[in-house]
Amino acid sequence: MRLGLWIDEENLRIDEVGAAAKAAEEHGIDRIWFSQRLGWDALTLIAGAAPFTSTIQFAVGIVPVYPRHPLALAAQALSVQAVIGNRLTLGIGSSHPQIIEGMFGLSMEQPARYMREYVEALGPLLSGEPVAYEGEKLTARGHIEIPGTEAPELILAALGPRMLKIAGELTAGTTTSWVGPEVIESFIRPTIDQAATAAGRPRPQIIAGACVALTDDPDASREWIRARFGPAGDMPAYRAVLDRGGKAGPEDTAVLGDESAVAKEIERFAEAGATEFLLCPVGTDEERERTIKFAHDYARGLK
């Protein structure tokens, strides 16, 4: 299993982000992940951070598709791919009604239908192929060609059966949030594998993202997560997967404890079928520093 590391870019300068990425590379982390939130544009951030490194892979998890037409996203992703030497993983997703409808004023009617059409148009564009796509929800006609680029790996954030089917049929795999190893083993892995097999595709990746804190006070860490990420439990897609796992909120999916406890939990994700554990350091400054050090040491042990 590979180890990915999420860098919390909020309130960081580009040189600080670059230094964190360089340290991750030097310690054997397989892939750096950034979120698309309300500050940095994640793809632009990757283009800025990559020159501090030479070999590590970069990923965005995830770019919401509704505000970005496939032609526009393909142009941006391939431009970044050219700048960073073909080290990009492009994660996309639907996002949530609170964001897409509440902030952008866009409709999220039939998100699975829209996503299928989006990926059907985006995939060929990322490979440099011309498209003349006309679906029920989306039209895309054009061709993006940037010399020296390879198609970036395309990952779809999927938690429900319809999105997992799309991910298995049309992409390299999925990323998960607020999901424990039990749900990956009983639902995520068999559902996405079935779709990929039916489509004649390789076994998909499952990038299992989890909040992690190396801590001597797990209860305090859970409260920290509840205070910061608790509202995610009210978003329909997250609520459904939390209910599937019998969890009250995001804080109940965290990986907390000392080095031994966290290492054992990561192994449980691997045994459940995850191909990459995406470690998201959380908690106090001291806990995050301890967690990042653990990630660096753990990555070395995987090599």
pLDDT in tens, the chain (303 residues): 999 999 999 889 999 999 999 999 999 999 999 999 888 999 999 999 999 999 999 999 999 999 999 999 999 999 999 999 999 999 999 999 989 999 999 999 999 999 999 999 999 999 999 999 999 999 999 999 999 999 999 999 999 999 999 999 999 999 999 999 999 999 999 999 999 999 999 999 999 999 999 999 999 999 999 999 999 999 999 999 999 999 999 999 999 999 999 999 999 999 999 999 999 999 999 999 999 999 999 998 876
List of residues 6+ apart from 13 with CB closer than 8 A: none
Q: Which of 274, 212, 300, 276 shows the shortest CA–CA distance to 4?
A: 276
> Which residue is listed with tokens 């959380």?
282
Query: How many residues belong to the chain?
Result: 303
How would DSSP label each residue in 126-188?
HTT--EEEE-SS-EEEE----TT--PPEEEE---SHHHHHHHHHHSSEEEESS--HHHIIIII
How much is the pTM?
0.96
How would DSSP label each residue in 10-76?
TT--HHHHHHHHHHHHHTT-SEEEE---SSS-HHHHHHHHGGG-SS-EEEEEEEESTTS-HHHHHHH
Task: Report the alpha-carbon distance of residue 34 to residue 174 in Å, rounded.
Answer: 15
Task: Report the alpha-carbon distance of residue 303 to residue 97 in Å, rounded.
Answer: 41
Q: Which of 49, 40, 43, 50 shows the shortest CA–CA distance to 15?
A: 49
Task: Report the alpha-carbon distance of residue 180 to residue 273 in Å, rounded.
Answer: 11
Task: Report the alpha-carbon distance of residue 298 to residue 292 in Å, rounded.
Answer: 10
